[in-house]
Structure 1
Amino acid sequence: MMAVLCGAASVAGCAAGAAQPRYPDKPIRLIIPFGAGGITDVAGRLVGQYLGEALSQQIVIENRPGAGGAIAAQALSAAKPDGYTLLLGTVGTQVVNKMLYRKLGYDPAAMTPVSLVSNSPYVLAVNGVEGVDDLQSLVRYARDNPARLNFGSAGNGSSPHLGIELFKLATKTDIVHIPFKSGAEAVNAAVGGQVNIVIDALPVIEPQAKAHRLKMLAIADARRSRVAPDLKTSVEQGLPQFQIGSWNALIAPPGTPASTVEALNKALAQALERPELVQRLAQMGIEPLPTGVQAYRKHVANETEKWSKVIQAAGTRLD
């Protein structure tokens, strides 16, 4: 009898234990801080599908664009810390927004990190810059013609904007920034000759390069892409400081229990080991990143150091 029944003193404890449901026992909401169709949305939906399979639960995507991801991050911060609301964090939500806004409305450090997810290295492309075929010739042209070149971005403080500011800082060049409302508008402006330089994810730039509307000069990464294996990296071209991509991380609300983070991490690692997911990501120039909280913290520390120098040098503020 004692082997199968709780003692009187522990009845309440047994009842409480029995009442706790297995996590997750209902759909999980994944907030994506940009609109549908962009590289962050594509990565989030794809990884979310396989993460849901690993958790045996549905992942419901919710796009909440605006303010460089701050609107989505605020929604995440206000959610219950029960593991049923997650954010696909970005360099904006987790690192640079706190440097750009005096009143942010959320604290990235208070959020509960789960893991890094993926990265899509950016490609630098040009149009209408005669005699420029690689990064070093671009640097020479820019130095010989200060403030003659311009670049388009998805807006002040966006990753493409900060990416070219990083390039300018690394090469000591003067290139004029022209902000647009979206990355698509900036790429279209480069195709139309309104701007000379643009950077964005490989799936965005490569179709225009194949159509001979843009000339790709480099992938801003340490490794070549399997999608464009002939495109040299920024490291190969003598600019190891110029590395930038659209990276993502899985973030939970402040106060999320460690057991929930552990369950999510285990499931994410399983998802990112699926060959079919890795292949589908690779086809779009997206690479899985190391999983776990420690890898996330190390990455964010490195990104914080890098982008604080860039933002200070550029003098960029959004309020």
Structure 2
Amino acid sequence: MRVIVTGASGVLGSAVFAAFKAAGLDVLGLAHSRTKGELRKLDLLDASATKGVLSEFKPDWVIHCAAERRPDVAEKDPDATRKINVAVPETLATLSKELKFKLVYISTDYVFDGTSPPYTPSAATSPVNLYGITKRDGELAVLGVTGAQSIVLRVPVLYGPAEKNSDTAVNILLDVVTDQSGKTYKMDHYATRYPTNVLDIADFLVRLIQLPSGKVVPPIIHYSAEEPFTKYEMCLVFARILGLPHAHIVADAEPPKAGTVRPQNTQLYVHETQDLMEGSGGLGWNPFEEWWQVYLAKKQ
């Protein structure tokens, strides 16, 4: 089986690329701004070059991880965000139809407004910020190409091994906890999140593409860990693991009054995915605190 992973230098994409490689599959990792090692450089905005690479490699699956994932950055450059989050997946879906590969488009819980969780895959979308709008429009573009073999996989906020803590909205909280300089941080204690490990998603994707041919994968599926945390609560977990004081981190339970709007609770309903993966390892997610205890102990 031959697999292409886009965005293979990112936190999620690098985990997915490594998981497919460890599974013994023939995998090609594509990256643009941070190409390194065995990854191949490709600008996905160049539709002709993209078609050339895919035609040459002849994948059975394309796992599309590349995206603009930062809501604040998306608001500042909406045109560039629409290109990468909408136009690129539409191009890949068109190529899926032409070249006969299956496409997994990684989407987000931010396609929902956060007012009535948990959200099933068939729930009506209603994003509250530009990032969510572009990811929703990317879903519509992918699923709107008749004849393409496309799957939308929605995931929540991510964490896991990263080059820099600033690469994920969860890992960056480690820098807040370890900053013992006397600076005070107001930390969100309003929005509920379901942080999910990129290693778990990568493992899930390996198992997903190897499901028996008789199992029908729905066009939209959800993957998420099921432990709720606010950002403030995640900081408390990190402080406990590291044995550090946290008086400098102040809980803010009020709705944010400035900055990019974010939904309050976009919990993803995952029972349909559990049913799909019955007999193939289930969801298989790591508990948040337990994973961080092991990971941070190894780094010390």
TM bin (shorter chain): 0.3 to 0.5
TM-score by length of 1: 0.32
Relative contact order (C-alpha < 8 Å, sep 6+): which is higher? 1
Greater gyration radius = 1
